[in-house]
Amino acid sequence: MLYFITKSILSGVIIAIVSTIAKRQPAVGALVASLPLVSILGMIWLWHDTHDRTRMAAHIGATFWFVIPSLPMFLLMPWLLNRGLPFWLTLMIGCALTAGLYLGMVAIGPRIGLRI
């Protein structure tokens, strides 16, 4: 249980740091947010828990393929905000787009030989 609490606190601290930096310097906050910190932490926790090379390789490969459908959200949301849409509506549309693209990746990926 202590291990889970430690993981949760560390992950939460990273999110708090990113949001604090972004309030002062949006570009620097975006840079820190774009770092694959969550992915790296996930890899560290998975390795600590399993020491399984095959599982780790599968996890890293799948992470790569799931990053791709998340990227259009970061183009759509600023475009919508700059056209006057409210933030919460923009966020919902961005999340819906990403969810749809994730579903597409899950449906199409294996058909083209991706292991996800």
Q: What span, in angstroms and rounded, lies between the C-alpha atoms of 66 and 80? A: 23
pLDDT tens, residue by residue, 55-108: 999 999 999 999 999 999 999 999 999 999 999 999 999 999 999 999 999 999
pLDDT tens, residue by residue, 18-42: 899 999 998 888 888 888 888 898 8
% of the chain beyond a pLDDT of 90: 66
pTM metric for this prediction: 0.77
For Cα atoms 58, 60, 66, give the angle at the middle one, nearest 5 degrees.
Answer: 100
Q: Which amino acid is at 76?
A: L
